[in-house]
Structure formats: structure tokens, C-alpha cells
A and B are shown apart, each in its own frame.
Chain A
Amino acid sequence: MVPFRYNVRSLFVRKVTTIATALGIALVVFVFAAALMLGEGVERALVSSSRPENVIVLRKGSDAELSSSMSQDVLGLLRGNSAVAQGEGGGVIGEVILVITAELEGKGESQISNVLIRGMPAEGMKFRPEARIVSGRAPQPGTNEVIVGKAIAGRFKGVSEGGTFELRRNRPLKVVGTFAADGTSFESEVWGDLDVIRTSVGRQASVSSARVRLNSPADFETYRTTMEADKRANVKVQREADYYSKQSEQTSGFLVGLGTVVAILFSLAAMIGAAITMNGAVAHRTKEIGTLRALGFSRIAILVSFVLEALLLALIGGVVGLAFVQLLALVSFPVMNFQTFSEIVIAFKATPNVLISALVFSLVMGLVGGLVPAIRAARVSPVEAMRG
């Protein structure tokens, strides 16, 4: 085999073309990795780190908490099953979810967006172990005190610690703390007392959804069949994780799809760039290649050598692209959640999968771009060594 250092140094000698080509590939890898990171960010935001024994109950026919409404009495039916866990963190809670419009901070009155308000009973926090107060304090049950998720804290007028905003005219809510919830979309919500919030909007005897903690994930099927068969309840029972992944599919699918299409279009240009660079390398080194062939290196050895060179070039680009894309981990921005029509804040999230996919993508670009020039190199006649 032709020694690999031959390829490494050949790339190094042609610094300018190598850097230009690698940067082209880096740009594509950046876009591609950014799209994947966004997808991961959406999934992380929407797929709660819920426990497998958690179940969400909606009214039959509803796809989302926002469009669901059930009578308070249903909670009794949901509780009356031996599969429901008892004690600390167990049981059934009913919650009310509603969306209000609020003015964005510092953008004038014309700029408004939706904020999702969740009313929950006192034990609601215990259903979400990932949620914790990061500043301020927890609200007093039975009061108009609320806490705001850290992703939207300060984005809306009055919706930040120490502030006050109106749920309805003359129904103010007071923000007493900020909470974090492991990067999930809960961080884009406002949490307050169930009774205060539903009374304010005139929904006293109803809830939007219920959460049930079962004794074990294995009890789910039985529980679902029993509850969905109960005509009085008229509910749909889903695992919390399934519910959230269904919610995230639409949003993340759209963003990842868009990003991938852009990356593929860019990659065509990058592959042409890599092909031009490698073609130039082959043309420039015809005599060297002829010499290697004269010395006895086979066509295959030359082919492999130039493919490796192209792969190395692409890998340099890939690593540079990934290095830059790490900076995106510092960026987050609001997107519309199509299920709730309220804002959720998405952060770019790098996972091992993203890194591996992006590197493989860069190698594929190197292979595709480098193959034709490598075949050309393998075809160089050893007689070229003798030409003056």
C-alpha cells in the first residue's frame, strides 16, 4: 500500500486548496448537524423525561391536553382501580391547561404571543420529579401565586419572578418563582393552582387532562382496557411517553426535514468542490502517480490511496464543522408548538448520534467526491513516469 503519510503530507502541501475544500465540507456538516441537533432539541423539549408508569388521560377524541375537557367526576373513576399507585407521588391528579396571549417584553403592544398556563393541584410537582425551583419559591396552594418555566421567564411582560400579569381582566397572577424541568417543554409553561386558575376562567367542575401513576408499567394495558371500556368515563388512556413523542413528531419532523433538504443541496456543491480539488490533485501529480506505478504499486493501491486522501480531506472538514456547531449548543430560540399553539423554546442539542451521523455524512461526501478522481488516478499509466 502507498504509505498514508504520502496523502497526509500531500494535503498539507496544498494548504490553500485543502483549507478551502475542507471549509466547504465543514459548512455542509455544520448545516446538517445543526438540523439534527434541532431535532434532538425538539424531542428533548417535547418528550418529557416521564416515568414509564405515568399515564395521561384525555377525553376520548382529543389529541392534545389543550383540546381536552373532562368532568371532575372522571378523576374518581380513574382512582378506583387497584393498578393505581398509592402513597407519595402516586395517585391521580387532574389539571387544567389554557392558553392566554401576552405581550412580548420590550417589543411594543403589537407583538403578542401565546403562553400556556397549567393549573395543578398541590401534589402536581411530585408527578414531575425533573421539575425543581431554581429561584424564588414554590407557590402557596389555593392562592394566585404561580411559577414560570425558565425558558420563557422574562420573555413576556409581567411573566417573570416578582411580576404580575392578568389571566383575565381583574384576575391577576403573581409570579413568585422560576422552575427548571430538564429542558422539557414544561420550561415554556406557567404553573399555578388548579382551583384558582379554573375558577378564574369559569371551568370549576372540569379538568383538561389527568395524570395517573400506576404501580408498574406492566399494568398499563389492563388499566387502559378497563378505563376505555367504561362508558361513564369516556376517556382515552396513553402512556405519557407515547403522548409526548406523538406531539414532537410533527414539529421535529418538519425542522429536521427542512434542515436535511438544505444540507443535501449544500452537499452537492461540497462534493463537486471535493471532486474538483481531488481532480486537480490527480492532474498535478500525474508524474508522481506514474512513478509509484513504475515502482510496482498496483492500480488498486493507487485507487485506495486517493480515496483515503479524499476521505481524510472530508474528515478534516467534518471535524471543523462539528467544532463550530458546538457553539450552537449555546443558542436557543422560540418555535411554535403546533399542538398547543403556544411558544416553546428549543435549544440545539448535540448527542453522540448527531456527531456520528455528521461524520458519516462528511465521509460519504468525501467518498462520492473523491471516487471519480481516484479512478482517474488509478488509470495513470506507469509510462507517465518517463515523460519529461
Chain B
Amino acid sequence: MAEATSIVTLKGINKTFHRGKEPITVLESLDLDVPTGSFEALMGPSGSGKSTLLNIIAGLDRPTSGEVKVAGANLAAMSDSQLAKWRSQNIGFVFQSFNLIPVLTAAQNVELPLLLTSLSGSERTKRVQTALRVVGLEDRMHHYPRQLSGGQEQRVAIARAIVNDPKIIVADEPTGDLDRKSADDVLTLLDKLNKELGKTIFMVTHDPNAAEKASVQRKLDKGALQ
């Protein structure tokens, strides 16, 4: 795979945590290439380092050593505030437990990433409507999260993840808290985002059904990709 078409390039990634005085190595000399426009599923047992790897790709965390290039940016060299700004422009997040702000309506939750842009109020409203239409929840825009089902909450979260038109969507167990039917809806939606809108999707999952939807499946075990 040529570098120019890779949206994620990791080289020699090490990540060590300290529990007390004991260092715990989570990722060791890990290399990874994710081509632009792919839909990848990362599987592996608990504690294998999946979430840590996802956090590093998403710019939430930094490796102890190694090179991280995502969407053309060298993340290892960026400050906290640079990373925050970079995330807002390049990454869409989908979380296992949706992470909607309970006191804000669906539309206001979706609008959050746009508040970090210079878009006008009417422009933001238009984009929020578009994003909610893509996930099929335009009619629920004024509902609060507690008034929605789990599947609907996750679709609102997906609308929030795409409203800024990011290059990559990272999803952490997106179906983990959902029943089979809702899980299928969410996976279909992610597939559509990948195929129709050309988003690169990097998904951590335990769910074999979810992993099946992805075009590439990877396994992580004891800090190394199999």
C-alpha cells in the first residue's frame, strides 16, 4: 500500500502505562497502515490494547514512542490544544455508550462540533438538519436523549460524528450497548457512510456480526497486530 493513499500510518508504536512503579506495556513496536476510504474492524480480547490503539489514532492519547501520521498530520509532535483543534476537524467519534449530553436536545448535541467552527447560526442549523436526515432522525431533532431509544441515541451520535465532515470516523464498540436490530441499523448506517460518503471508518468491536460488515478485519493480541 503506497503512503499517499494511507490515511493512518503508525510506525514502531510503543505505549507503556505505569501502575505504581511497575511499567505495563500495552502496545509494542506496532505498525499499522489504514488506506483512505477503508472500513476496518479491530478485534481482540479485553486488555489487548484495542482502545489504546484507537485513542492514539484519534489523537486522544499519545504513544510513548513511535510515529503517528493521521490525515497528513504528525500527531506525536502536537500539543494538547493543537490536538483538540485537529480532532474537531478530522475525527468523528462514535462511542459505545453514545456519550450524548443529556441536557441538550438531539439537534444541540449534533451542533456541538460546529460551535468550534466559524459557521453562522443558520449555516449550523442547515448542517445539523442534513446530518440528522442522513441518520433518519430529522423528526427527533428536538428530543432529549432520554426520550430516544438506544439505537436512536447512537444514530444521533453518528450524526454528531459526521456533521463536521471529518475524514475518519473512529467507533469504539458502537453496537456494544444495542440490541441486535438496532445494532444492524447502526452497522448499515456506518456501511453507508463508508460507501456513499467515502468516510474511512476505524472500528473497535467484540461483535463478530459487526466485524463482518468491515472490509478489513484485524486482530490485536498482547499489544501486537496478528
* Interface set of A (CB-CB < 8 Å, partner B): 1-3, 5-6, 9-10, 12-13, 287-288, 291-299, 381-383, 385-386, 388
Contacts and interface: CB of A to CB of B under 8 A. Distances in A.
B93 interface: yes
B203 to A, nearest CB: 13
A386 B55 contact: yes
Given A383-B55, A385-B60, A296 B104 contact: no
Contacts of B216: none
Given A291-B99, A294-B93, A298-B84, 16 more contacts: A1-B115, A3-B108, A5-B108, A12-B103, A287-B97, A287-B99, A288-B99, A292-B112, A294-B58, A294-B60, A295-B113, A296-B87, A298-B81, A299-B80, A382-B60, A385-B60
B67 to A, nearest CB: 20
A291 B88 contact: no
A386 B95 contact: yes
Nearest to A12: B103
B101 A6 contact: yes
Interface of B: 51, 54-55, 58, 60-61, 80-81, 84-85, 87-89, 93, 95-97, 99, 101-104, 108, 112-113, 115-116, 160, 172
B112 A383 contact: no
B95 A291 contact: yes
Given A9-B103, A383-B61, A295 B93 contact: yes
Contacts of A381: 60-61
A288 B88 contact: no
Contacts of B81: 298-299
20 contacts: A2-B115, A3-B104, A3-B115, A5-B103, A13-B103, A291-B93, A291-B95, A291-B99, A295-B160, A296-B87, A297-B88, A298-B81, A298-B85, A299-B80, A382-B60, A382-B84, A383-B60, A385-B99, A386-B51, A386-B60
A47 to B, nearest CB: 51
Q: What 3 pairs between A and B have smallest CB-CB spacing?
A: A296-B88, A9-B103, A291-B99
Specify the main secondary structure of chain B where it touches its partner. helix
B101 A288 contact: yes
A1 B116 CA distance: 7
Contacts of B113: 295-296
Nearest to B100: A291
Contacts of A6: 101, 103-104
A298 B116 CA distance: 10
Contacts of B97: 287, 388
Nearest to A387: B51
Contacts of B54: 386
Contact of A9 (B55, B88, B99, B104): B104
Given A386-B55, A386-B60, A297 B84 contact: yes
Contacts of B172: 386
A318 to B, nearest CB: 23
A293 B104 contact: no
Q: Tell which of A12, A295, A382, A388 has the most Cβ of chain B within 10 Å.
A: A295
A385 B93 contact: yes
A385 B173 CA distance: 13
Contacts of A2: 115
A295 B60 contact: no
Contacts of A13: 102-103
Given A5-B104, A10-B103, A291-B99, A296 B116 contact: yes
A384 B193 CA distance: 26
A9 to B, nearest CB: 4
B138 to A, nearest CB: 21
Contact of A295 (B96, B102, B108, B112): B112
